Chains A and B, each alone.
Chain A
Amino acid sequence: MKTYDIVIVGGGPAGLAAAVAAKEQGIDKILILERDAELGGILNQCIHNGFGLHTFQEELTGPEYAGRFIDQVKELGIPYLLHTMVLHIDHRKRVTYVNQQDGMCQIQAKSLILAMGCRERSRGALNIPGYRPAGIFSAGTAQRLVNMEGYLPGKKVVILGSGDIGLIMARRMTLEGAQVEAVAELMPYSGGLKRNIVQCLDDFQIPLLLSHTVVRIEGKERLRSVTLAQVGQDRKPIPGTERTYECDTLLLSVGLVPENELSRETGMKMNPVTAGPVVDEKLSTDIRGIFACGNVLHVHDLVDYVSEEAGAAGKNAAEYVKRDHDQPEEGKTAPYEFEQEPGESAPIEIVVRGGVRYTVPALIHARPPKEDVTIRFRVGNVYRNCYVAVYVDEERILRRKKQIMAPGEMETVVVKKELLTGQTQTVTVCIEEA
């Protein structure tokens, strides 16, 4: 069995940044496994601009942003396999993949970085009643058809869900000559970024119908119409508010779900809120030597943060390979618990309260940690004029005023390493009203 220091599952923005960071730490035996025909992942179909303001201080399109990292991977001579599907990984960091060149292959990694990204929630997950005609696409599928394959999937469009991809596609379809009738959003606020509402809907006078959903789909061969209705506070349709829109296309932009089928096969601990693995401050899962980063861990709003997080995962994986790696123990069937040295105290738990849905990381092992701990989180509702507060045990160490916080935008706080001592038991992140 071939052995690699670090195997990276996924050649999108997370996998690329992790690979570059690991290589820069002096790790040479790296392999990136990518199922698509090229590196870059979903960025290749995100042809709109707005990427890279944090990383490169300039505004790039998705393919340009990916191109910067692909160039680095190529310049550094990091090996990668395309058209390669990973079928299985296990807790001993053995990876089974298949491609046309090698057939089915098994390789051993000293460290594994999970960077599989996420995928779109589908119609099936929503229980929309009605027929199943042609013309119903996830927004990302439509994006790929238009931007990479050169097809316009429809002429008259209704979009359900105001996630960023839906907003971006409202503009894209409009520019390509389609008529976008409306964007309907179940919630009383948009899940997308403000800039996208302004640039993709307002610029083209496309109505955003908040607290609306699809209640009927008509058409047998091809979609003929969808019926939207207003919903009440219980998110149930209000009878009498139905309005039918003739259209040939319905795009669904109703959320992203981390793609963790492979992760689950290892038996690693998962977070039911993010649908991603539970990780510590080193982005290590509870299986020694397996790290996770990017949208497989939790869905990000900005690719810049993915690159930053993945860079940290790559660096930490490199350190693990250099210092901590031990040979996989044959015959051990249960996953390892989070590493805990003899005599070492239990990890610091990161507790969420008052509107914070989750944090990444969920726990902190080293005390004090080697570096300040970046905690990323999302809130569960729209909050105006409130405070993000961080407590170390009972003591408040940070309180930052926020004019607005919304579920669509990821928030970040940094906890200074020296504040976390041997006695620290919990770090609490919460929203406090003014």
Chain B
Amino acid sequence: MEIRKLTCIGCPMGCALSVTMEGKEVKSIEGYTCKRGKDYAAKEVTNPRRIVTSTVRISQGVLPVVSVKTKEDIPKEKILDCMHALDGIQVTAPVRIGDVIIDDIAGTGVALVATKNVEAS
């Protein structure tokens, strides 16, 4: 039996979670105050994932960069791969919130989408 202590990141409450593990199997989860927290704890000890947010260059826009995110969370260990994959990407204005920038970022099967409207200059 191993007890793993986590801080929930599902919302700013930051609940203190306690997961009892037996090998790779989750035995019990305590300390959560919503379903999100319980799901997070189970996922964090078996398959930690993060949404990655960054920017890519945009040409002919009112700003030089447009903010982007992975449409869903990706495996935590893929964060830096994701950053390398979006390095050097350039899009052209206008860009709308939700526009797909890369279909499948760093082999995660998750799309990279714009999170800001940037008008053409």
A-B contact count (CB 8 A): 85
Instruction: Say which one of A56-64, A242-250, A349-357, A360-368 lies at the interface with B.
Output: A56-64
Task: Write the nearest CB–CB distance from A409 to chain B, whole angstroms.
Answer: 7
Q: How far is the CA of A67 from the CA of B96 in the complex (A)?
A: 10
Chain A residue nearest in CB terms to B117: A67
Known: A47-B53, A61-B53, A175-B54. A302 touches B117 (CB 8 A): no
Q: Which of A47, A59, A64, A193 contacts B54 (CB 8 A)?
A: A47
Given contact pairs A64-B97, A67-B97, A148 touches B115 in the complex (Cβ within 8 A): no
A302 touches B97 (CB 8 A): no
Q: B51 at the A/B interface (Cβ < 8 Å)? A: yes
Q: Is the CB of B12 within 8 A of A302?
A: yes
Contact A195 B54 (CB under 8 A): no
Residue B62 contacts which of A37, A53, A147 (CB distance < 8 angstroms)?
Answer: A37
Interface contact B9-A47, CB-CB below 8 Å: no
Q: Which of B20-28, B63-71, B100-108 contacts A (4 or more CB under 8 A)?
A: B63-71
Whose C-beta in chain B lies nearest to the C-beta of A49?
A: B51
Q: Does B115 lie within 8 Å of A198, measured CB to CB?
A: no
Q: Are B97 and A148 in contact (CB under 8 A)?
A: no
Q: Is A195 a contact partner of B67 (Cβ separation < 8 A)?
A: no
Query: How close is B111's CB to chain A, nearest CB, in angstroms?
Result: 15
- Quick one: closest B residue to A204, CB to CB? B79
B interface residues, how many (CB within 8 angstroms): 31
Given contacts A48-B53, A203-B50, contact A198 B64 (CB under 8 A): no
List the B side residues contacting A194 at CB < 8 Å: 7-9, 12-14
* Min CB gap A237→B, angstroms: 30
CA distance A98 to B98 in the complex (A): 35
Please report the C-alpha to C-alpha distance between residue A150 and residue B50 in the assembled complex, in whole angstroms.
23
Mask of A127-167 contacts with B, CB within 8 angstroms, 1/0? 00000000000000000001111100000000000000000
Interface residue? B57 (CB, 8 A): yes
B115:A64 contact, CB within 8 angstroms: yes
Q: Mark A14-56, 1 if CB is under 8 A from B, else 0.
A: 0000000000000000000000010000001001111001000
- Are the CB atoms of B12 and A195 closer together than 8 Å? yes
Interface presence of B4 (CB below 8 A)? no
> Is A193 within 8 A of B67, CB to CB?
no
| B97 x A198 contact (CB < 8 A) | no
A411 to chain B, nearest CB (A): 11
Q: How far is A50 from B50 in the complex, measured between Cα atoms in Å? A: 11
Q: Report the nearest B residue to A146, measured CB to CB.
A: B55
B residues less than 8 Å from A67 (CB atoms): 97, 116-117
Q: Which residues of B contact A90 (CB under 8 A)?
A: none
Q: Tell me the residues in window 43-102 of chain A with beta carbons closer than 8 Å to chain B beta carbons.
A: 44, 47-50, 53, 59-61, 63-64, 67
Known contacts A61-B69, A63-B97; is A195 also within 8 Å of B51 by CB?
A: no
Nearest CB of B to A178, in Å: 12
Tell me the bound Cα distance from A195 to B12 in angstroms: 6
- Do residues B51 and A147 form an inter-chain contact, with CB atoms below 8 A? no
B11: CB under 8 A from chain A?
A: yes
Instruction: Check A319 for interface membership: any CB of B closer than 8 A.
Output: no
Tell me whether B43 is interfacial, beta carbon within 8 Å: no
Interchain CB contact under 8 A, A44 and B55: no
B120 contacts the other chain (CB 8 A)? no
> A49 touching B69 by the CB < 8 A rule?
yes
Name the A residues within 8 Å of B51 (CB-CB).
49, 59
A149 contacts B64, C-beta separation under 8 Å? yes
CA distance A149 to B97 in the complex (A): 18
Taking CB atoms, residues of chain B closer than 8 Å to A37 are 62
Partner of B55, one of A49, A50, A147: A147
Report yes or no: B50 in contact with A199, Cβ–Cβ below 8 A.
Answer: yes
CB of A301 within 8 Å of the partner chain: yes
Residue A403 at the B interface, CB < 8 A? yes
**Given A63-B67, A148-B65, residue A203 in contact with residue B76 (CB < 8 A):** yes
Inter-chain pairs besides A47-B54, A53-B11, A175-B80, 17 sampled, C-beta below 8 Å: A37-B62, A47-B69, A50-B12, A59-B51, A63-B97, A67-B116, A149-B63, A149-B65, A150-B57, A150-B63, A150-B64, A193-B14, A195-B8, A195-B10, A198-B6, A198-B7, A301-B12
B interface residues with partner A (beta carbon < 8 Å): 6-14, 16, 50-55, 57, 62-65, 67, 69, 76, 79-80, 83, 97, 115-117
Across the A-B interface, give the 10 residue pairs with the lowest CB-CB distance, nearest first: A194-B14, A47-B67, A63-B116, A195-B9, A150-B64, A150-B65, A61-B115, A193-B12, A194-B7, A198-B7
Q: Could you name 23 residue pairs across A and B whose Cβ atoms are closer than 8 Å?
A: A37-B62, A47-B54, A47-B116, A50-B11, A50-B12, A60-B115, A61-B115, A63-B67, A63-B97, A64-B97, A67-B97, A148-B63, A149-B63, A149-B65, A175-B79, A194-B9, A194-B13, A194-B14, A195-B7, A197-B7, A199-B50, A203-B50, A301-B12
- Which chain A residues have a beta carbon within 8 Å of chain B's beta carbons? 37, 44, 47-50, 53, 59-61, 63-64, 67, 146-150, 175-176, 193-195, 197-199, 203, 301-302, 403-404, 409
